Amino acid sequence: MATRHSRSAARLMMAPAVVLLLGWMLVPLVMTLWFSFRKYLPLRGGDLGWVGFDNYASFIRSSAFWPSVQVTLTLVVGVLAITLVVGVLLALLLDQPMWGQGIVRILVIAPFFVMPTVSALVWKNIMMDPNNGFLGHLWRAVGLQPIDWLSQASMGSIILIVSWEWLPFATLILLTALQSLDSEQMEAAEMDGAGPLARFGFITLPHLGRAITVVILIQTIFLLSIFAEIFVTTGGAFGTRTLTYLIYQRVLESQNVGLGSAGGVYAIILANIVAIFLMRIVGKNLDA
Amino acid sequence: MGQILLEKVVKRFGDVEVIPPLDLTIEDGEFVVFVGPSGCGKSTLLRLIAGLEDVTSGRIVIDGKDATNIPPAKRSLAMVFQSYALYPHMSVRKNIAFPLRMAGFDKAEIDRRVAAAADVLNLTPYLDRRPGQLSGGQRQRVAIGRAIVREPAAFLFDEPLSNLDAALRVGMRLEISELHNRLKTTMIYVTHDQVEAMTMADKIVVLHAGRIEQVGSPLELYSRPRNLFVAGFIGSPNMNFITGPEADKLNAATIGVRPEHIQVSTTEGRWKGTVGVAEHLGSDTFLHVHATGLAETITVRASGEVGLRHGDTVWLTPEDDKIHRFDSNGLRIE
């Protein structure tokens, strides 16, 4: 099928994309590695030469490091849990035949199209603001003291915002998986005496296994680098400083590019550890 | 015990009446085949009996109990689906054990029954495989195994062999017939294949547009079809229908002669014609003959190999006592 001629033509055709991707990935990666070994303070003398592993040592010794790792993982796990549980329930609902199905589905998908910065602003000002927010009004309406969500329940609030953004993605993937479930299997289970809960547990959930795996893997990749939502809402205060945010603070707020780059390398390592664990746990679902 | 009674059962989907009022009795231990062309409502009828569809009106009585509003799981029926509907993530063992597990049997009893079913169906070596690792015939047997472990009052088969290749189909047909002889449980079997119906059934129900055209034993349907539809549907190759002067001679609107009831001769006979297509099967030869004076092409089944080719002149003589006569409404004239 593939002649030598067509193979070399294929290589030629792919070359621009490969070169572009390589440049896009390799240049920043190499620069990050380069800076992580240098003392580089842009406003305080610029590039001050080699320092070996000093940046790595001081980044990990910083009192902010381990809490930031913990916050990052809490955020990822929290959002995954909410989007998966609610996503499965929503997908089950949307799979039912109902009037106005098309419109409802579009509405459910809508949050995914809102930019992270915008949705964080919307949540911060319209929903969670203690004076003017909808939740504040709701609390006052039933005679309660409004809660300043983003300072008193900062982590939960951010998990909620990010979950709201990612729920459509999870729902959509799970819904398409649900629609591919053979209806005769459900009927067979019904005849076999399985009630609705048993049918869900024994038939639907195993069928969704692969879709759930896809959701977990893709969401984890994006959730590890959540930034805009934190920047817009808490600015990293109130225990919401993730590793990504800590790196941003080191580079731009402390103007220490070397230290931030070392943090970036740690972030790469963390992402890979998470990826290895995930592939071990859920990756086997993708086989066969 | 598995007597099933349908009384004035009606099924409508919106305004479309799929099953007009229908009465049918299925006796305990009978092998009943619902047969008809696609879209005739045979699968719907089976699903009504199973409880997977609600009847619009009428009553379904199973074992003397009104089952019309009983959910499918409580009707003590087991069903084998066209797609087998095996649970892909469970091993064969777990698939077969599933209905028992749902019914809350203890582990020892489940193991005993699964082993017995696997033994009957020659599935013992495959118990720990997944359905995806099995061939079509093996999957079919797993589906049957899942049905028999429950020891139901009746089995429902929804075109179970239509996904198998021709050779396997003949084998499975025998296995299902043997299973019925051994279990003596009521079986209702839906198919569009009249050969399956003829070979397996104690009683055939011919359905057409939701109506029962005729109920009877295979031979009854073959030798005394009640109307043109049944006459044309049962038997392979199909019955020849002849209208016009030849039918008028016998005081009928249409006469029907089965291909195997026509004598072929190269020298003399009632109808003269030329051979069109000749299909040589070895055991039989099917001749499609254009007879002069008849509008229709006549199919003839000659036993063994006859040395006739395209364009040869032949004479055909129907066996007089095997001619079926039908009136202008398509009903049989005795």
Rounded to two decimals, the ipTM of the complex is 0.81
Mean pLDDT of chain B: 89
pLDDT recorded at residue A74: 93
Question: Is the preceding peptide bond at B237 cis, omega within 30 degrees of 0?
Answer: yes
Per CB-CB distance under 8 Å, the chain B contacts of A194 are 73, 98, 102
Task: State the Cα–Cα distance between residues A29 and A165, nearest whole angstrom.
Answer: 29
**CATH number of the domain to which B289 belongs:** 2.40.50.140
Percentage of chain A lying above the pLDDT 70 cut: 97
Q: Are B30 and B201 in contact (CB under 8 A)?
A: no
- Measured between CB atoms, does A185 come within 8 Å of chain B? yes
* pLDDT digits 0-9 by tens, B236-281: 888 999 888 888 888 888 999 999 999 988 888 888 889 988 898 8
pLDDT band, very low/low/confident/very high, at B320 (cuts 50, 70, 90)? confident
Contact B102 A187 (CB under 8 A): no
* pLDDT of A80: 95
Residue type, B295: A
DSSP class of residue B28 equals T
Residues B127 and B166 in one domain: yes
Kindly identify which residue of chain B lies nearest to residue A198, measuring between CA atoms: B102
Query: Considering only alpha carbons, which residue of chain B is nearest residue A203?
Result: B87
More confident residue, B128 or A2: B128
Best interface-test mutation with B: which of A187, A190, A191, A284 has the largest number of B CBs within 10 A? A191
The pLDDT-based confidence of A54 (bands split at 50, 70, 90) is: confident
Instruction: Provide the 3-class DSSP secondary structure of residue B318.
Output: strand
CA distance to partner chain B, nearest, from residue A188 (Å): 6
Q: Are A146 and A221 in contact (CB under 8 A)?
A: no
Chain A: closest CA distance from residue B50 (Å): 8
Given B231, B248, B279, the domain boundary residue is B231
Q: B227 and B309 in one domain?
A: no
Q: Dump pLDDT digits (tens) for B101-132.
A: 988 889 999 999 999 999 888 889 999 999 98
pLDDT band per the 50, 70, 90 thresholds, residue B151: confident
How many Å apart are CA A62 and CA A272, to the nearest integer?
22
Are residue B211 and residue B102 in the same domain, yes or no?
yes
Predicted local distance difference test score (pLDDT) of residue A287: 62
Residues B17, B166, single domain; the answer is yes
Selecting from B51, B71, B79 the residue whose C-beta is nearest the C-beta of A188 gives B79
C-alpha span between B66 and B59 (Å, rounded): 7
Which fold, A61-284?
A: MetI-like fold (1.10.3720)
Amino acid making up residue B159: E
Contacts A192 to B, Cβ<8 Å: 73, 98-99, 102, 146, 150
pTM over 0.95: no
C-alpha–C-alpha distance, residues B290 and B276, integer Å = 7
pLDDT exceeds 70 at position A1: no
Q: State the pLDDT confidence band at A6, using cuts at 50, 70 and 90.
A: confident
Specify whether B242 is located in the same domain as B123. Answer: no
Calculate Rg over the CA atoms of chain B. 24
B89 min Cα distance to partner chain A (Å): 7
Domain enclosing residue B153, as ranges: 4-231
Q: Alpha carbon of A113 to those of A116, A121, A160, B205, B302: distances in Å? A: 9, 15, 17, 57, 73
Split into its structural domains, chain B has a count of: 2
Nearest-angstrom CA–CA distance, B201 and B4: 16
Q: Give the model confidence (pLDDT) of A85-114 as tens digits.
A: 999 999 998 888 888 888 888 888 888 888
* Inter-chain touch B146–A288, beta carbons under 8 Å: no
Stretch B77-81: mean pLDDT: 90
Contact A193 B85 (CB under 8 A): no
Q: What pLDDT does residue B171 have?
A: 86
CA dihedral for A175, A181, A185, A187, sign (positive or negative): positive
Question: Is the Cβ–Cβ distance between B214 and B225 less than 8 Å?
Answer: yes
A192 — contact with chain B (CB < 8 Å)?
yes
Q: Give which of B293, B294, B276 is closest to B285, Cα–Cα.
A: B276
B188 and B112 co-located in one domain:
yes
pLDDT band at A166 (very low <50, low <70, confident <90, very high): very high
Q: A 194-213 residues with CB below 8 A of B?
A: 194, 198, 202-203, 206-207, 209
Confidence of residue B16 (pLDDT cuts 50, 70, 90): confident
Q: For residue A97, what pLDDT is reported?
A: 83
Percentage, residues of chain B above pLDDT 70: 100
Same domain, B208 and B266: no
Cβ–Cβ below 8 Å for A191 and B52:
yes
Same-domain pairing of B163 and B58 = yes
